[in-house]
Amino acid sequence: MDIKQNIFVAVDAVVFGYSSAQGLSVLLIKRKNEPCKGCWALPGGFVRNGESLEDAIYRELHEETAVKINYLEQLYSFGLPTRDPRAQVVSVTYFALVRPDAFEIKANTDAQEAQWFALNNIKKLAFDHHDILEVALKRLRGKLQYEPIGFELLDKKFPFSELENLYSSVLNRPLDRRNFKKKIMKYGLLDQTDEVQKHQGSGRPGKLYSFNEKKYFELKQRGILFEI
Amino acid sequence: MDIKQNIFVAVDAVVFGYSSAQGLSVLLIKRKNEPCKGCWALPGGFVRNGESLEDAIYRELHEETAVKINYLEQLYSFGLPTRDPRAQVVSVTYFALVRPDAFEIKANTDAQEAQWFALNNIKKLAFDHHDILEVALKRLRGKLQYEPIGFELLDKKFPFSELENLYSSVLNRPLDRRNFKKKIMKYGLLDQTDEVQKHQGSGRPGKLYSFNEKKYFELKQRGILFEI
DNA sequence: CCAAAAGTGTTGGTAGTACACCCATGA
DNA sequence: TCATGGGTGTACTACCAACACTTTTGG
């Protein structure tokens, strides 16, 4: 190739996790290199030669956070020449969801630390990572309403109230328990198990449900998508 | 920067146009350089140093097609190391719509020719441009149903049947004229003008409507989006 | 027995769908 | 006057939103 391009390609991910105690949380790493050494930032890094974008983000997530990713999709590409002070860096960003049991993390190569932050407790972030987070949140809110993506943030088996709390907290509005259940159950995507919730403090324990992926793919095939 | 990255960044655009005669069409250019010299391809090219992604795609579209773009949004980024035989090229792709009067084009720098192709008449395309087109079509179909994006493909003033044909042909299903009109009019986004269609062959001329952007932004502000 | 959370049905309003005839124009 | 496409209303159905009391458990 006879062109002289001084542009680098990076990948970054917005990884969301959820628990009813903490609400929606984002996984951040503390940068151990300049620029912005010590700042919190989205996990990510430069793509290696010969590596696909997806491979790159999986590798970086593994190196930096060792968190088990449950859902991943591309989010948006950011390319303002000024977004990184070192050089022009185009960042292809990803949107990821993890299950509650992934709230255990360990820090590695590129980061001195990786840590979950509740959404309403986010510090200043490095580079334009705040903008990226904003776009990711918008995507999450949007998708939650027309694809059954919420299940990817919950355990394989969960009480119904957990799903309702997730929706209510991410969408930032109260939901009517009865109507919400009717809407969800209408699609036949949830199987009721014979188990109930254990030790949740006080109150009646809820029955546990599981997401039926097979029925989901059937519905998707027929082009019928779900809507809250 | 102390990393050695041999990855290039390009931008490509899927530009859609529509006329009731031709249906949905895509703007392609004939490549005048290797690889794949002479093949049809999406307009696009390499990002220049210090240039943003958006600037790059506008520049390329101007250089290669001189078509007036009416709507532009980022689509997806493609980065498989094998997608370009010369080198690893990450392509950030865009999705664009033009009005019918832009069906006049002129070829320039990078292309010997730029030309509109009806969707059902697309040849083999260079690189992975078929995949890109696929993604763009999916995005168009999706957006058409929950954002009033169809107007961006029509003249400022258009007869109602034009809008209906657009929807019907892009979504690939028949629509009931009366119900479709009710649904659209419900949002109050269309103003009826006092003009009627001219010389459209035979039959009664239709009244012309125009899209009311002001009301659209009001609705959007209130978070109410439109649904077909 | 008290507090806390889970479970459950009915009703009224609204929006969606199905459907057919008349009107204005050009040839 | 005929062919072509534009314009319009109603009735039925299905979905949505609003709403409150009972049940199960732990303390």
- What pLDDT does A159 receive? 96
Measured CA A176 to C1' C10 distance, in angstroms? 15
Option in B7, B8, B53 nearest A79 (CB): B53
| CB-based burial, A30-55: b 16+ in 10 Å, e otherwise | bbeeeebeebbbbbbbbbbeebbbbb
DSSP-assigned letter for residue A202: S
pLDDT at A1 over 60: yes
- What pLDDT does A21 receive? 87
CB-based contact, A46 to chain B, within 8 Å: yes
Cβ–Cβ below 8 Å for A7 and B87: no
- What pLDDT does B198 receive? 83
Residue whose C-alpha is closest to residue A96's, from A62, A122, A52, A145: A62
- What pLDDT does A112 receive? 55
Domain span(s) for CATH 1.10.10.10 in chain B = 151-222
CB-based contact, B172 to chain A, within 8 Å: no
Q: Chain A contacts of B86, Cβ < 8 Å?
A: 1
Grade residue A107 by pLDDT with cuts at 50, 70 and 90.
Answer: very low
Option in A1, A3, A81 nearest B50 (CB): A81
* C-alpha to C-alpha distance for A29 and A117, rounded to whole angstroms: 10
Q: Chain A contacts of B76, Cβ < 8 Å?
A: 74
- What pLDDT does B107 receive? 44
Cβ–Cβ below 8 Å for B46 and A4: no
Give pLDDT tens digits for B108-159. 445 458 899 999 899 899 999 999 999 999 999 999 998 999 999 999 999 9
- What pLDDT does A105 receive? 60
Cβ contact A179 with chain D strand, < 7 A? yes
Cβ–Cβ pairs < 8 A, chains A and B: 78
Cβ contact A186 with chain C strand, < 7 A? no
Stretch A8-17: mean pLDDT? 98
Cβ contact B198 with chain D strand, < 7 A? no
Calculated CA dihedral for residues A49, B82, A57, B138, nearest 10 degrees: 150
Option in A4, A49, A52 nearest B80 (CB): A52
Cβ–Cβ below 8 Å for A77 and B80: no
Among the listed residues B51, B54, B63, B113, the single catalytic one is: B113
Over pLDDT 70: what percentage of chain A? 96
Stretch B52-81: mean pLDDT? 96
Report the CATH fold assignment for A151-222: Arc Repressor Mutant, subunit A (1.10.10)
Nucleotide nearest to B196 (CA to C1'): D6
Question: Measured between alpha carbons, how far is residue B112 from residues B64, B91, B169 in Å?
Answer: 9, 22, 31
Q: Chain B contacts of A135, Cβ < 8 Å?
A: none
**What is the overall mean pLDDT for chain B?**
92
Say if residue A35 is preceded by a cis peptide, omega within 30 of 0: yes
Domain span(s) for CATH 3.90.79.10 in chain B = 7-142
Q: Is A113 in the active site?
A: yes
Strands A207-211 and A190-196: antiparallel
Measured CA B68 to C1' C24 distance, in angstroms? 36
Give pLDDT tens digits for B192-228. 999 998 877 788 999 999 999 999 998 888 877 788 8
Option in B4, B7, B48 nearest A47 (CB): B7
Calculated CA dihedral for residues B114, B117, B122, B123, nearest 10 degrees: -40
Cβ–Cβ below 8 Å for B8 and A7: yes
pLDDT at A155 over 60: yes
Grade residue A207 by pLDDT with cuts at 50, 70 and 90.
Answer: very high
Dihedral pair phi/psi, residue B47, rounded to 5°: -75, 140
Among the listed residues A60, A113, A164, A218, the single catalytic one is: A113
Give pLDDT tens digits for A19-78. 988 899 999 999 988 888 999 999 999 999 999 999 999 999 999 988 999 999 999 999
Stretch A97-112: mean pLDDT? 68
Give pLDDT tens digits for A131-147. 999 999 999 999 999 89
Over pLDDT 90: what percentage of chain A? 77
3-class DSSP assignment, residue A153: helix
Over pLDDT 70: what percentage of chain B? 96
- What pLDDT does B34 receive? 81
Contact partners, residue A73, CB within 8 Å, separation at least 6: A94, A95
Q: How many helices (H) and strands (E) does chain A have?
A: 5, 10
Pick the CATH number of B7-142 from 1.10.10.10, 3.90.79.10, 3.40.50.2300, 3.30.70.1170: 3.90.79.10
CB atoms within 10 A of CB A72: 18
Give pLDDT tens digits for A56-68. 999 999 999 889 9
Which has the higher per-residue pLDDT, A80 or A111? A80
